[in-house]
Structure 1
Amino acid sequence: MNISLFPPGLSAGAIPPLPRERVVVRGGGCALVALSAGDGIEIHDAEGLQQVLIVAVDADPAVLGLEGPATVGLAAVLEKGGEGSADVARALAARGIAPEALGGHVVLAGEQEAGRRIALLAKGGVHVIVAAPGGPMAPDAQDTATDIAVFIHRAAGNEPPLPAPLAEPKLDLRVPAAEARAYRVKAGDYIQIIDVSGRQCTDFLAFDAAALEKGAEYGLDATTTRTLMGAAYPGPGLHSKYYDERQIPLIEVVRDTVGRHDTFALACSAKYYEDMGYPGHANCTDNFNAVLKPLGIKEKAGWPAINFFYNTAVDHTNALTMDEPWSRPGDYVLLKALTDLVCASSSCADDIDPANGWEPTDIHVRVYDAAENFSKGIAFRMNAEAEPRLTRESAFHPRLSGMTRSFVEYRGFWLPTCFTGEGPIAEYWACREKAAIMDLSPLRKFEVTGPDAELLLQRTVTRDMRKLSVGQVVYTALCYDHGGMIDDATVFRLAPANFRVVCGEEFTGTWLRDKAAEWGLKAFVRSSTDQLHNIAVQGPLSREILSEVIWTGGTQPTIGELKWFRFAVGRLGGPQGPALVVSRTGYTGELGYEIWCHPKDAGALFDAVWAAGEPKGMKPLGLSALDMLRIEAGLVFAGYDFCDQTDPYEAGIGFAVADKDEDFVGKEALARRKANPARKLVGLKVEGNDAVGHGDPLHVGRAQVGVVTSATSSPILKGQIALARIDVAHADVGTRLEIGKLDGLKKRIGAEIVPFPHFDPQKTRVRA
């Protein structure tokens, strides 16, 4: 085959810089990429061991330099239903092509090291399917299918195509750079507003069409919307609507792949450019006046609009700030019309500041029929280079969504905050007194395998991996060279050279892979988050409940025998049931377990546990109740109780730093920090019932000496408690402090440092 192979570690100067246009092919899934003559693609297997299949849809494979017969049928890949399969199947059907008629060339065999890159150059126009084949992974296996990144290098003059329609459009409308267009939308229809080339603002207006017919103008009102939604701008989920001045909702936000917009300022106007020294400059307000005048809508000197993709914010000094948009080519917002609307969209004309990346480009609008059903989602990026991924529903969501509508986006998934008819207090007491079940599927899971797997983890985590037995779990920290924390994690040892890292940050896997490459270790770090969804069953009755539903073989401990921080491989209901991994771990300070399964088995698992637990008083548990439980138990949370400026000692988890004689990342810095501590995590008992929260300053007199990291009202302790990071000079138990509110001086709330954790400090309950 006429393809180029780039080995890992090739010098940056030998490879063109990565373009802004990229597609991520999810493990087990596929994606369609359109290429013109002269365009090139680079296929990156960052994690290693993933097979990659290339299918030329509407041209001879030789146009890509692929030689010989296709060896893998596309239909077999699509039948597995991986992410993107339905989109590819729909695109093929629109072209009248049967998947059975297409075969693919294997360009990566699935035996390559992490970081392998392949380049293909298109000699003519072609639509290319890139597939990352793979099937379901058993919870006790590690053969996970992983993501493949595809970077597109466009030849000079070749524009990136629009993303494929979400469905058959009723309207396909281009808004050229520095222009505006008006259009009508029926109630229930969906409006997709697309940034074609990236970094381009687009103002949006919408008016109640029925009111316009009667001569009344009722359009989107940002002030009303902010007040009713309690946010700078609505987003997908519960608080998703834009209102008019009558407090009637006109638009609902369904999807948002950017998450950074503006509802503060007017659309750009003639006055703005005149004041900047550019009289006569094209502007959105004049463009709107021109397209709305035929509809009988009065002109304005400056239109109050919703400006999608405009990167503005109000900073801590109360100043309105602006920078380049976050949007990339193909990013979009998807809206739903709640009544018949007259709409207008602009492509902002601003080329005198960073608002549009200094170069105005086109905006595209598509309207879809109300009969379509689109999932709700916010784009989630784990790091700056990551492709946005819309909020997912875990495999347990179909069960939980029947119990509540109160979901929030958490690390790329919808998770419940509380449950209808229960509420956080009832959920909390169920966990403390009986049992509770919660969805923790957003936890990131990485399979670490290979002959150097133990050595990689020994050099990167703070615990001593050589002491970890097969079947054991350990809690650890991962740190940068300066001692600041990357993440905390639990590590499972599945076999002598097989580990599973469970953590919060997607970046943790990237960092581990980078370290393996840097040190030349033969160790693979592959994401299995989409292959392993998990629930936690916590509370005094959790052992009794799970003993009824989980079977383990003779070589594995039973649920009754499973010790703290150990795991077992089992089955649901009996030896022929779905495979599970159950660990005696949790995040509540109670006796509890976490159960890991493939998403296809989640419904059966939840139903079995619920059937056994509900008669015993088990309740579902949301994030609000979980926060009460974990703060009482002194369990830290990333972004609140620790960050990359916090070492494990300052985060209250110094016990997770082993005294091992081998070097590991951050060892020298941690030794220095331990010997010369500056701050300490402490527990606070707060006076009164005024709410305190993360970020509130702690004072001794006028001086600020610390900050509240987490706080809650504790039902069992009958008062407000907090975790706080404080200067060691004031960290002794019994020290009295004041929590500053308002500006830190106008209001003070008394607090006292108390033993930490607040509840069950000897961990007798979790060890029971």
Structure 2
Amino acid sequence: MAGSPVDVAPFAALGAVGALQEERIVVEGGASVAFDLRPGDAVRIVDPEGLQQGRLDMQPVPDGPPDMLVLFEGDSPAGAEYRFVAEAALSCILAAPGEAMAPDAQNPPTELYLHITRAEPAGAVPPPPLATAKLDMRVPAADARAFRVKAGDYIQIIDVEGKQCSDFLAFDADALGQGVELGLDATVTRTLMGNSFSSPGLHSRYFDANLRPMVEVVRDTVGRHDTFLLACSAKYYDDMGYPGHANCTDNFNRALEPYGVAAKKGWPAVNFFYNTVVGEDDLITMDEPWSRPGDYVLLRALTDLVCASSSCADDIDPANAWNPTDIHVRVYDASAGFSPGSSHRMTPDAPARLTRKTGFHERTSALTRNFIDYRGFWLPTCFTNEGAIAEYWACREKAVVMDLSALRKFEVIGPDAEALMQLAVTRDITKLAVGQVVYTAMCHETGGMIDDGTVFRLGPTNFRWVCGEDWCGVWLRELAEKNGLKVWVKSSTDQLHNLALQGPLARKILAPLVTTPAHRATVEELKWFRFTTGKLGDIPVMISRTGYTGELGYEIWCHPDQGAALWDALMAAGEPYGLMPFGLDGLDMVRIEAGLVFAGYEFCDQTDPFEAGIGFAVPKAKTAPYVGSEALALRREHPQRVLVGLDVAGAEAVGHGDPVFDGRLQVGVVTSATRSPVLGKTIALARVDVRKSALGQALEIGKLDGHQKRIAASVVRFPHYDPDKTRVRA
């Protein structure tokens, strides 16, 4: 049915819609959305991943016979579309139906995209309210408005059309009533938060000059603002040759005058959606904002406030893309209780997704408040009353359990699934048996790495790719289309969450809990880089003997709805063995000791697997061509840089990005470093020139400007800890 005209009365086939702006709505897999259409509205429904059925229910308005269409039946390809134009007013519901996916299944419900082009655009409108709004106010282009907010209430500042800056001021309302102006202080805030801009999570708050918190950032769909410059003022435009130009400072003065706030020549402000950068040359530069239509920042008032928001008047440079537009402000009651998060996009044109909670968050959040936004999920860095060092020793001597649900999972299915994976990764997938797992690299045609990850073979034409990068799914679909392969790549990240149970006692804890079918390996029988399926109590699970710690360990995969029950079962069984929850801080220590690479540190698209220290994942014996194979063959024969281990003298901190020198010559860079508790010294991984990579080579790590201060180091074998990996094979 995809792409065919609708054959019921209220519709006609889609014609040209011109260049009108589309409304874009995402229907999550397993969910539905309601929307209204007017006569002439053009609709495009897209199945971006394929194999996802759609159900469209339509009710003519004010009355008429309802109708329901089933979209994308059968083997619909990725990118399948259904288009129509409404001939009458309609109230619609679009669903992307699907059941919860079992850990050993490959049928995740996935997203549908709904695009609506209105026959009669209503002008620039903000997105729908997040809840019932107490204040719903437009700030016209190049103007400002002031408003009151009660403690606990939420303030949403919306960029209606995109690429529009909005300066924000806030004052303690009680202090203003006593004639005292006590407002946001950017210097205090940066000092206390240790960040240039406050953002959702641990570094979310803005403070006044008395070091008291005034507002906190709850949500941010842009992630690019500044907190260190003035709102634009008359002087700026005078200096630029535009005397008398409208400016935010004068607009603020007028808006705040009724509240008794004294006028200023320049207002220090939080500059939302303002794309400013402090370069390595110490110069402040700017460009067009990152914000898109409907992007917003959501704040929570921590005391009674008088606030002011502007639509920046700047039309003489890129600050507002040379075209000031409206800002919209909404205030919501404290009872709304919005979840915190930042937005993430798989590709520049993809819909934004707020930071989400894993299936284990209910349990981990009861044990710590130390969370960071890691690749779009809230993950703990360490746990209250324990901390990274205690968690580290539990991993090395007993056992730990860690939430790794932020890993991206893709189901690769169809008759050409093996051909696609053979083409996409460096390992020889034809040698992978059902039930096996292999670690591999995925590369560009230049040999630079896209990502590293593991391939699970679930069947003759069934694979699961587990990695860190969302874009891998898009790239695999593009690769399949380019090569004419009949294969589907389905995102299953939100259907498959996982705990890592790691440490020398991991098998003793896990084995008694799991039952497996007779034809599957038990936990005791499971070999390194193999997986099995079964039940942990009543919870369906898949268990792989894999990990990221250098210790004996397992990863346990389940549907997120079962996350809390799985956590409880493991913690209860592990209590006699000293099982401890494990955060990202401890993980970084053990993975560096074990020589395990991390995206953005040991590799990026400018480094190949040899330079990243995983040359073993590029076998010479793989004769079938794959993406990057020609480039990697040349790089293997003519290496320029290599990853090495470093023993570092003393206890001073070194870290990612520190330059490595041989005399005055910089020969490399530190990719990761830590103070190793078990080895009692500072260790590092570094990418250095092959001519300076011999074991025992004396080098120095540069601090300050790289030359004033040097820390002695020497090249050593890595992994630093258990270099023969005997513990993971135990």
TM-score bracket, normalised by the shorter chain, equals over 0.9
CA shift for structure 1 position 37: 4.8
Which of 600, 603, 607 is the aligned partner of 1:642? 603
Q: Return the letter of the residue paired with 2:593.
A: E
Unmatched 5+ stretches in structure 1: 7-13, 63-67, 71-103
Secondary structure in 1 aligned to 2:391?
helix
Secondary structure in 1 aligned to 2:394?
helix
TM-score (norm 1): 0.91
Change (3 A) 1:664 1:162: same
Secondary structure in 2 aligned to 1:109?
coil
For the 8 Å contact 1:483–1:646, the answer to whether it is kept is yes
Which of 264, 268, 273 is the aligned partner of 1:304? 268
Structure 2 counterparts to residues 302-341 of structure 1, below 5 A: 302-341=266-305
Secondary structure in 2 aligned to 1:163?
coil
Q: Return the letter of the residue paired with 2:324.
A: P
For the 8 Å contact 1:5–1:116, the answer to whether it is kept is no
How many residue pairs get matched?
A: 720
For the 8 Å contact 2:22–2:118, the answer to whether it is kept is no
Secondary structure in 1 aligned to 2:396?
helix
d(CA) in 2 for partners of 1:656 and 1:2? Answer: 41
- Is 1:254 matched up with 2:254? no
d(CA) in 2 for partners of 1:697 and 1:529? Answer: 37
d(CA) in 2 for partners of 1:739 and 1:61? Answer: 75
**Matching residue of 1:80:** none
**Matching residue of 1:694:** 656
**Matching residue of 2:52:** 50
Q: Return the letter of the residue paired with 1:201.
A: C
What do residues 343-392 of structure 1 show as CA deviations (whole Å, max 9, x unaligned)?
Answer: 11111111111111221111111111112211111112233222211111
- Is 1:398 matched up with 2:400? no
Structure 2 counterparts to residues 703-742 of structure 1, below 5 A: 703-742=665-704
Change (3 A) 1:338 1:742: same
d(CA) in 1 for partners of 2:58 and 2:216? Answer: 39
Change (3 A) 1:325 1:127: farther
Which of 516, 519, 542 is the aligned partner of 1:581? 542
For the 8 Å contact 1:154–1:160, the answer to whether it is kept is no
Change (3 A) 1:110 1:421: farther
The list of structure 1 runs, each at least 4 consecutive aligned residues, that deviate by more than 6 angstroms after superposition, is 14-18
CA shift for structure 1 position 107: 2.7
d(CA) in 1 for partners of 2:489 and 2:234? Answer: 55
Q: Return the letter of the residue paired with 1:415.
A: L
What do residues 240-284 of structure 1 show as CA deviations (whole Å, max 9, x unaligned)?
Answer: 110111111110111111111111211111111121121221111
For the 8 Å contact 1:34–1:161, the answer to whether it is kept is no
Q: Return the letter of the residue paired with 2:556.
A: I
Change (3 A) 1:718 1:16: farther
TM-score (norm 2): 0.96
d(CA) in 1 for partners of 2:516 and 2:570? Answer: 16
d(CA) in 1 for partners of 2:281 and 2:195? Answer: 19
d(CA) in 2 for partners of 1:258 and 1:124? Answer: 37
Which of 359, 364, 371 is the aligned partner of 2:323? 359
Q: Return the letter of the residue paired with 2:51.
A: L
**Matching residue of 1:652:** 613
For the 8 Å contact 2:3–2:80, the answer to whether it is kept is no
Structure 2 counterparts to residues 86-165 of structure 1, below 5 A: 104-109=68-73, 111-123=75-87, 126=90, 128-155=92-119, 157-165=121-129
d(CA) in 1 for partners of 2:3 and 2:380? Answer: 48
Secondary structure in 1 aligned to 2:570?
helix
d(CA) in 2 for partners of 1:481 and 1:200? Answer: 38
**Matching residue of 1:81:** none
Q: Return the letter of the residue paired with 1:597.
A: C
Q: CA RMSD in A?
A: 1.9
d(CA) in 1 for partners of 2:429 and 2:288? Answer: 44
Q: Return the letter of the residue paired with 2:709.
A: K
Structure 2 counterparts to residues 370-389 of structure 1, below 5 A: 370-389=334-353
Structure 2 counterparts to residues 18-57 of structure 1, below 5 A: 21-33=23-35, 35-56=37-58
d(CA) in 2 for partners of 1:335 and 1:43? Answer: 34
CA shift for structure 1 position 60: 7.5
Change (3 A) 1:688 1:481: same
**Matching residue of 2:184:** 220
**Matching residue of 1:92:** none
Structure 2 counterparts to residues 530-549 of structure 1, below 5 A: 530-549=494-513
What do residues 145-185 of structure 1 show as CA deviations (whole Å, max 9, x unaligned)?
Answer: 11122334345744254222111111111111111111100
Which of 440, 450, 453 is the aligned partner of 1:486? 450
**Matching residue of 2:635:** 673
Change (3 A) 1:516 1:17: farther
d(CA) in 2 for partners of 1:627 and 1:590? Answer: 14
Secondary structure in 1 aligned to 2:624?
coil
Segment drifting more, 344-353 vs 105-114: 105-114
Change (3 A) 1:321 1:110: farther
d(CA) in 1 for partners of 2:671 and 2:291? Answer: 32
Segment drifting more, 169-178 vs 125-134: 125-134
Secondary structure in 2 aligned to 1:720?
strand
d(CA) in 1 for partners of 2:675 and 2:151? Answer: 44
Unmatched 5+ stretches in structure 2: 7-15
**Matching residue of 2:579:** 618
Segment drifting more, 261-270 vs 578-587: 261-270
What do residues 179-200 of structure 1 show as CA deviations (whole Å, max 9, x unaligned)?
Answer: 1111100111111111111111
What do residues 611-630 of structure 1 show as CA deviations (whole Å, max 9, x unaligned)?
Answer: 01122111110000000000
**Matching residue of 2:708:** 746
d(CA) in 2 for partners of 1:263 and 1:526? Answer: 40
**Matching residue of 2:11:** none
d(CA) in 1 for partners of 2:445 and 2:90? Answer: 47
Secondary structure in 1 aligned to 2:334?
coil
For the 8 Å contact 1:224–1:245, the answer to whether it is kept is yes
d(CA) in 1 for partners of 2:295 and 2:715? Answer: 48
What do residues 501-557 of structure 1 show as CA deviations (whole Å, max 9, x unaligned)?
Answer: 100001001100001111110000000000000000000000010012111121111
Q: Return the letter of the residue paired with 2:519.
A: T
Secondary structure in 2 aligned to 1:749?
strand
Change (3 A) 1:491 1:145: same
d(CA) in 2 for partners of 1:106 and 1:4? Answer: 12
d(CA) in 1 for partners of 2:296 and 2:254? Answer: 25
**Matching residue of 1:529:** 493
Change (3 A) 1:643 1:671: same
Segment drifting more, 721-730 vs 265-274: 265-274
**Matching residue of 1:65:** none
For the 8 Å contact 1:20–1:328, the answer to whether it is kept is no
What do residues 3-36 of structure 1 show as CA deviations (whole Å, max 9, x unaligned)?
Answer: 6579xxxxxxx99789575222221122344555
d(CA) in 2 for partners of 1:593 and 1:19? Answer: 49
Change (3 A) 1:564 1:346: same
CA shift for structure 1 position 313: 1.6
Change (3 A) 1:127 1:697: farther
d(CA) in 2 for partners of 1:362 and 1:526? Answer: 39
Structure 2 counterparts to residues 6-25 of structure 1, below 5 A: 21-25=23-27
